[in-house]
């Protein structure tokens, strides 16, 4: 199979995982112990003043990340840069956020998403896919 097609299928699968994660966040009800932990520890961090500004920045980065998926799918050179920058910013946001409890479904979806993101980064820099981004259309 063509490596470019594999790369594009990884992008599509990551977008599908994102949609699935959002759907599960709205419809999946975790156990009470998870809700109790999040209400006790995580809710205090979320209710701080000034966090709304960071939340707006985080949502903008998520939108830019989705745009980078589209640009990567079309093999645009700026999409490669935007993808790497948004991955770094999202990782920093998650690194410095407070502890929270997650259900096993959320953890599995996040882990699969991280694995696909890592595979995409590897393909972007260490495979023939990287040469496709250097061409001028």
What tens digit of pLDDT does each residue of 36-50 get?
Answer: 666 666 555 555 666
How many other CB atoms are found less than 10 A from the CB of residue 71? 19
What confidence score (pLDDT) does residue 30 get?
A: 65
What confidence score (pLDDT) does residue 41 get?
A: 61
What confidence score (pLDDT) does residue 28 get?
A: 72
Give the confidence band of 11 by pLDDT, cuts at 50, 70, 90: very high
Asked if pLDDT for residue 97 goes beyond 80, the answer is no
Asked if pLDDT for residue 71 goes beyond 60, the answer is yes
What is the value of pTM for the model shown? Answer: 0.82
User: Of the candidates 132, 105, 116, 137, which has an alpha carbon nearest to the alpha carbon of residue 65?
Assistant: 116
Q: What is the largest CA-CA distance in the chain?
A: 54
Mean pLDDT to the nearest integer, 111-131 = 93
What confidence score (pLDDT) does residue 96 get?
A: 79
Asked if pLDDT for residue 137 goes beyond 60, the answer is no
Joined together, the tokens standing for residue 107 give 């953890």
Across all residues in the chain, what is the average pLDDT? 83
Question: Half-sphere exposure of residue 26, counting CA atoms within 13 Å on the CB side?
Answer: 5
C-alpha–C-alpha distance, residues 122 and 129, integer Å:
10
């Amino acid at each position: 199979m063509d490596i470019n097609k594999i790369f594009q299928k990884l992008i599509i699968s990551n977008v599908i995982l994102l949609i699935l994660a959002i759907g599960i966040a709205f419809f999946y009800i975790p156990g009470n112990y998870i809700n109790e932990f999040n209400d006790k520890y995580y809710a205090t961090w979320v209710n701080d003043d000034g966090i709304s500004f960071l939340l707006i920045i985080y949502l903008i980065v998520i939108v830019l990340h989705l745009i980078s998926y589209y640009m990567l799918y079309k093999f645009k050179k700026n999409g490669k840069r935007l993808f790497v920058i948004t991955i770094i910013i999202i990782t920093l946001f998650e690194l410095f956020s407070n502890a929270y409890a997650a259900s096993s479904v959320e953890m599995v979806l996040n882990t699969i998403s991280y694995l696909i993101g890592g595979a995409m980064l590897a393909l972007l820099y260490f495979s023939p896919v990287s040469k496709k981004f250097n061409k001028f259309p």
